[in-house]
Amino acid sequence: MPETRNLIILGSGPAGLTAGLYAARADLKPLILGGSKPYGQLMLTTDVENYPGFPEGVQGPELMDKFSKQAVKFGAEIILEDVMEVNFKKSPFTVKTASNSYLSKAVIVATGADTNWLGLESEQRLIGRGVSSCAPCDAYFFRDKKVIVVGGGDSAMEEALTLSKFATKVTVIHRREEFRASKIMLDRAKNNSKINFLTNTVVEEVLGKDKVEGVNLKNVVTGKIEKFGCDGVFVAIGHSPNTIIFENQLDLDEKRYLKVKGHTLTNIEGVFAAGDVHDHHYRQAITAAAFGCMAAMDSEKWLESR
């Protein structure tokens, strides 16, 4: 039988690594199962200028490297394995990867959420080079430039409005005639002189070798494809929380994010949540890290009470 650990943390983005840091400093000797694609969405980000402590900015991968080294320095163990199965129905909890099985008294779920991308090779190649999914993170880099926002919901309108504070022109690209966005958000975007709309249109290809130089747009009614010049592409068609393996064990909301109470508590005592896996409102590295701190402190108190 494997040893029963005090705490296992699922995920190695800002939430998971911050939880690991706090738990390690509390002498819980946490195990972080970081996944085969570790350290979260910041690994796809180039310049990060809104994380405190870095007045000159920092590269996303460099920031996550610092996170992981700090957690390990104080005693966290990081294993880069994908979690395949969990059993939270009895204590100690069981967490299985492809090659190992682990037992733990407490678990923090910090598996995050992934951006829903368009699925284009050109898009993936230019992520961080003009392709983004976060206007609050990257709008500043597009001052006096032309950008497009792909999507038709409230998130797309929010992205467009944020970008309009910096860009000279924002064009919302939507594949349908009608929008899913609420009337108030759609009206705000339509009343903004910098924001234009192209409906019944999809992005066929993102153009550019080392940076975005434009896109090929296809009208889904006529089939006509035209080149459209822009400096940035913001994809706002939603996020998918990484919660599939927790179905039928942890409570999920209608968007399949984890439900929490008291900041980090799930419906199962001893299982905590941190970061984008439950927070679909802010989705920032600093808020994810804050939730990681809270989850670690909550788990420490819960373990002490037992």
For residue 8, what are the contacts with CB-CB under 8 A and spacing of at least 6?
A: 30, 31, 32, 33, 93, 95, 102, 104, 106, 107, 108
Neighbours of 121 (CB within 10 A): 9
Q: How far apart are CA 238 and CA 90, in angstroms?
A: 34
Among the listed residues 27, 134, 210, 298, the single catalytic one is 134
Q: How far apart are CA 255 and CA 154, in angstroms?
A: 15
Torsion 35-39-40-45 (CA) sign: negative
The answer to whether 231 is a known catalytic residue is: no
Residue 65 phi/psi, 5-degree rounding, is -65, -40
- Which residue, 234, 263, 266, is CA-closest to 253? 266
Q: What is the DSSP string of 32-50?
A: EE--SS-S-GGGG-SEE-S
Q: Is the peptide bond before 55 cis (omega within 30 degrees of 0)?
A: no
Among the listed residues 47, 137, 231, 276, the single catalytic one is 137
Among the listed residues 27, 47, 138, 279, the single catalytic one is 138
The answer to whether 230 is a known catalytic residue is: no
Q: Strand 271-273 relative to strand 101-109: parallel, antiparallel, unpaired?
A: parallel
- Which residue, 118, 156, 125, 147, is CA-closest to 44? 125
The answer to whether 293 is a known catalytic residue is: no
Catalytic positions are 134, 137-138
